[in-house]
């Protein structure tokens, strides 16, 4: 189902403060029905605080927010009854079995027993957990717990599903299975809001996204738009012998839109990477190795949020 | 399901879950877990009075019977002790259930975080937990009455009133201790709570001897604690000798429960909704 122009989440000057600390500083965004909308950003950028405000788990400090056309300040319970929330860290009920986790969660939504049982069976099937229905939660693998957490978030047939770093800590197989399931949910008309700091995940899943840094939105658009706007089409990665590093900056001049020097290599942002490499050969600049690749969201992300470590 | 089956999202038909229904879901969750552990739990409830009554009621009581009968209210030590043990066991169980399991749901396993992502609200969680603890105390009361009957202690059907009285006593401890747990980031305070509050109350609130035996100053402290009032009610019911002051005892426990439950709700909200 293609995204529509109907707005499901609307935020203007949305702000979250904890005492003197501003976690989210007056951000604006709209999420449309049927789209997968991403929040990217380093740790501490304000992604989770924003998610929690949308999920009505955290009161809005200031600004405007409407979720499914309702105000979280006055209609939190009704909004929650129509949302599915997948938190950053699994909070499954470790004292219940896999199936009981779903059935009990359905009770919290006041879903009648027979309906809950039918949905639970369907969701376990969808998330490839049917065979573990009677098992305790603890021995499940990380990927299984994540899938159960997502199944649990779907028990009330939510109009909007909020996923906070859905694949953090999973192995590649588990991630790909999860992406495939999320993609299928989207195909079936679900609206998804996803936070992640995996750029490949954002490129795979998100129709549109915003990049957050230091409590603010620093860029917004589709993955393709962001790459066009903040990067070149291609990137040439050069490794240069240590001896020829001094003075190389001048020799690289004019070969690319932008050159970034890293401790182990140079990144040349150019529309045509092969052409830039050709020019380097012509200038007889000594190199150890060269790689031409397409620019990714990761290049955009690092340009916008910097390379310094956030801890 | 609408999302997975490709049908359009259903109309916004869900109503806000009413407070009692919400609390009932929380209680139901605990009962579901209890289904796996109830045998051991009930056996423990059976063993506690049996051991105390045999060792202290029959054994020790045989030594103190002669001198103490009038101070004990005209009964032998076994009859004096039995109801007191019921009230204090309820205090201890309620206190335990309000510490580690609540902290686990707040921060170790974060059940409350998951529950608050649904239409459930903080007061549903609190009422549900208190309801669950009330249920546990009721089962303890029932088992105790059976054991006390084996020793021939209850004197009339009025003894059945000891069950709600004992449950109310426990709950008057639960609410303030849940409030305390809501402020803790680790469990180190709980050991201190049991060592410096619960155990001294167990010893000095009229379970083992009348508080009139204590120096006046200490007697007043003892009389200010919920356990003293709980013991008075439970003992009055089981021995068919309800003191004329029973409405005061009930009121004291109800006010304790109500006032501290309001504080507990505030503190839980502050902890869970940021």
pLDDT at position B16, please?
Answer: 44
Contact B273 A190 (CB under 8 A): no
Q: Which chain A residues have a beta carbon less than 8 Å from that of B8? A: 189
Q: Which residues contact A99 (CB under 8 A, 6 or more apart)?
A: A120, A124, A133, A134
Q: Which of B35, B117, B268, B272 to mutate to test the interface with A (most CBs of A within 10 A)?
A: B117
Provide the CB-side half-sphere exposure for A225 (13 A, CA): 10
What three-state secondary structure class fits A10? strand
Q: Which chain A residues have a beta carbon less than 8 Å from that of B2? A: 157
Q: What are the CA-CA distances from residue B138 to residues B42, B133, B163 (Å)?
A: 11, 9, 6
Query: Tens digit of pLDDT for each residue in B155-201?
Result: 999 999 999 999 999 999 999 999 999 999 999 999 999 999 999 99
Q: Find the CB nearest A81 among B25, B28, B119.
A: B119
Q: Where does the pLDDT of residue A3 fall: very low under 50, low under 70, confident under 90, or very high at 90 and above?
A: low
Contact B3 A104 (CB under 8 A): no
> What percentage of residues in chain A have a pLDDT greater than 70?
97
- Whole-structure pTM value: 0.89
Higher-scoring residue by pLDDT: B162, A4: B162
Contact A105 B109 (CB under 8 A): no
Contact A107 B1 (CB under 8 A): no
How far off is chain A from B5, nearest CA to CA, in Å? 7
Residue of A nearest to B272 (CA): A57
Q: Does A158 touch chain B (CB under 8 A)?
A: yes
Q: Each residue of B58-75: b (16+ CB within 10 Å) or e?
A: eeebeebeeebeeebeeb
Q: Does A51 touch chain B (CB under 8 A)?
A: no
Identify the CA nearest to B197 among candidates B101, B103, B96, B97: B96
Q: Find the CB nearest A105 among B2, B118, B274.
A: B118
pLDDT at position A263, please?
Answer: 85
Contact B110 A110 (CB under 8 A): no
Contact A80 B119 (CB under 8 A): yes
Contact B1 A85 (CB under 8 A): no
Contact B14 A105 (CB under 8 A): no
Q: Find the CB nearest B8 among A55, A57, A189.
A: A189
Q: Does A113 touch chain B (CB under 8 A)?
A: no
Q: Find the CB nearest A188 among B6, B21, B113.
A: B6
Q: Is the pLDDT of residue B14 over 60?
A: no
- Measured CB to CB, residues of chain B less than 8 Å from chain A are 1-6, 8-10, 12, 14-17, 21-22, 25, 28-29, 32-33, 109-111, 113-121, 273-274
- Assigned CATH topology for domain A7-222: Rossmann fold (3.40.50)
- Assigned CATH topology for domain A232-294: Alpha-Beta Plaits (3.30.70)
Q: Where does the pLDDT of residue B65 fall: very low under 50, low under 70, confident under 90, or very high at 90 and above?
A: low
Q: Does A141 touch chain B (CB under 8 A)?
A: no
What three-state secondary structure class fits A150? helix
How far off is chain B from A224, nearest CA to CA, in Å? 28
The ipTM assigned to this model is: 0.88
How far off is chain A from B14, nearest CA to CA, in Å? 7
Q: Is the pLDDT of residue A1 over 80?
A: no
| Per-domain residue ranges of chain A | 7-222, 232-294
Identify the CA nearest to A228 among candidates A159, A295, A160, A305: A295
Identify the CA nearest to A53 among candidates A66, A41, A42, A40: A66
How far off is chain A from B137, nearest CA to CA, in Å? 21
Q: d(Cα A253, Cα A272) in Å, to the nearest integer?
A: 15
Query: Tens digit of pLDDT for each residue in A248-289?
Result: 878 888 888 888 888 888 999 999 999 999 998 998 888 899
Q: Taking residues B76-84, what's their average pLDDT?
A: 91
Q: Does A58 touch chain B (CB under 8 A)?
A: yes
pLDDT at position B185, please?
Answer: 93
Q: Does A217 touch chain B (CB under 8 A)?
A: no
Q: Is the pLDDT of residue B15 over 60?
A: no
pLDDT at position B1, please?
Answer: 38
Concatenate the DSSP letters of all residues of A239-275 into one string.
Answer: E--GGG-TTHHHHHTTSSSEEEE-SS-EEEEES-HHH
Q: Taking residues B241-268, what's their average pLDDT?
A: 96
> What percentage of residues in chain B have a pLDDT greater than 90?
68
Higher-scoring residue by pLDDT: A122, A228: A122
Which secondary-structure segment (H or E) carries B96? helix B77-97
Q: d(Cα B168, Cα B86) in Å, to the nearest integer?
A: 12
Compute the mean pLDDT over every residue in chain A, rounded to the nearest whole number.
91
Q: Find the CB nearest A96 among B2, B6, B32.
A: B32
* Structure token pair of residue A13: 């000057």
């Amino acid at each position: 189902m293609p995204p529509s122009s109907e707005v499901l989440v609307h935020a203007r000057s949305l702000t979250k403060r904890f005492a003197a600390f501003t976690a989210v500083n007056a951000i604006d965004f709209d999420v449309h029905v049927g789209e997968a909308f991403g929040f990217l950003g380093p740790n501490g950028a304000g992604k989770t605080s924003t998610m929690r405000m949308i999920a009505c788990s955290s009161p809005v400090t200031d600004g405007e927010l409407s979720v499914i056309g309702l105000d979280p300040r006055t209609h939190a319970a009704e909004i929650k009854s129509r949302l599915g929330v997948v938190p950053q860290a699994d909070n499954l009920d470790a004292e219940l079995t896999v199936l009981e986790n779903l059935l009990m969660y359905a009770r919290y939504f006041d879903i009648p027993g027979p309906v809950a049982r039918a949905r639970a069976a369907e969701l376990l099937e969808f998330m490839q957990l049917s065979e573990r229905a009677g098992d305790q939660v603890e021995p499940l693998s990380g990927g299984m717990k994540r899938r159960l957490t997502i199944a649990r978030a779907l028990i009330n047939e939510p109009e909007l599903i909020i996923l906070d770093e859905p694949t953090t800590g999973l192995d590649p197989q588990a991630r790909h299975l999860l992406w495939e399931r999320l993609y299928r949910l989207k195909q079936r008309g679900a609206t998804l809001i996803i936070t992640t700091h995996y750029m490949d995940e954002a490129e795979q899943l998100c129709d549109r996204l915003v990049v957050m840094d230091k409590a603010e939105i620093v860029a917004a658009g589709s993955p393709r738009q962001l790459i066009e706007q903040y990067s070149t089409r291609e990137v040439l990665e050069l490794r240069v012998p240590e001896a020829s590093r001094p003075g190389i900056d001048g020799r690289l001049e004019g070969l690319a839109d932008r050159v970034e020097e890293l401790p182990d290599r140079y990144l040349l942002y150019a529309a045509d990477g092969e052409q830039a490499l050709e020019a380097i050969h012509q200038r007889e600049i000594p190199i150890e190795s060269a790689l031409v690749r397409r620019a990714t969201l990761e290049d955009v992300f690092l340009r916008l949020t910097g390379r310094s470590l956030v801890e | 399901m609408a999302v997975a089956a490709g049908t359009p999202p259903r109309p916004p038909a869900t109503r806000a879950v009413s407070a009692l229904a919400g609390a009932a879901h929380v209680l139901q969750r605990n009962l579901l877990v209890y289904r796996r552990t109830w045998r051991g739990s009930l056996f423990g409830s059976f063993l506690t009075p049996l051991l105390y009554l045999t060792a202290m009621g029959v054994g020790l009581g045989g030594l103190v019977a002669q001198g103490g009968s009038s101070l004990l209210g005209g009964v032998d030590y076994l009859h004096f002790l039995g109801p007191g043990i019921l009230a204090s066991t309820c205090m201890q169980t309620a206190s335990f259930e309000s510490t580690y399991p609540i902290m686990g749901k707040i921060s170790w396993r974060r059940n409350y975080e998951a529950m608050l992502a649904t239409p459930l609200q903080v007061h549903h969680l609190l009422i549900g937990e208190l309801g669950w603890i009330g249920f546990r105390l009721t089962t303890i009361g029932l088992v105790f009455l059976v054991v006390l009957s084996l020793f021939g202690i209850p004197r009339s059907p009025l003894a059945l009133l000891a069950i709600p009285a004992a449950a109310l006593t426990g709950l008057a401890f639960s609410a303030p201790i849940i409030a305390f747990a809501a402020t803790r980031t680790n469990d180190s305070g709980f050991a201190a709570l049991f060592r410096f509050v619960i155990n001294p109350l167990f010893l000095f609130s009229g379970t083992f001897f009348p508080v009139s035996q204590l120096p006046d100053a200490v007697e007043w402290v003892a009389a200010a604690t919920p356990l003293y009032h709980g013991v008075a009610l439970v003992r009055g019911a089981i021995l068919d000798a309800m003191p004329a002051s029973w409405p005061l005892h009930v009121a004291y426990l109800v006010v304790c429960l109500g006032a501290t439950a309001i504080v507990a709700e505030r503190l839980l909200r502050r902890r869970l909704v940021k």
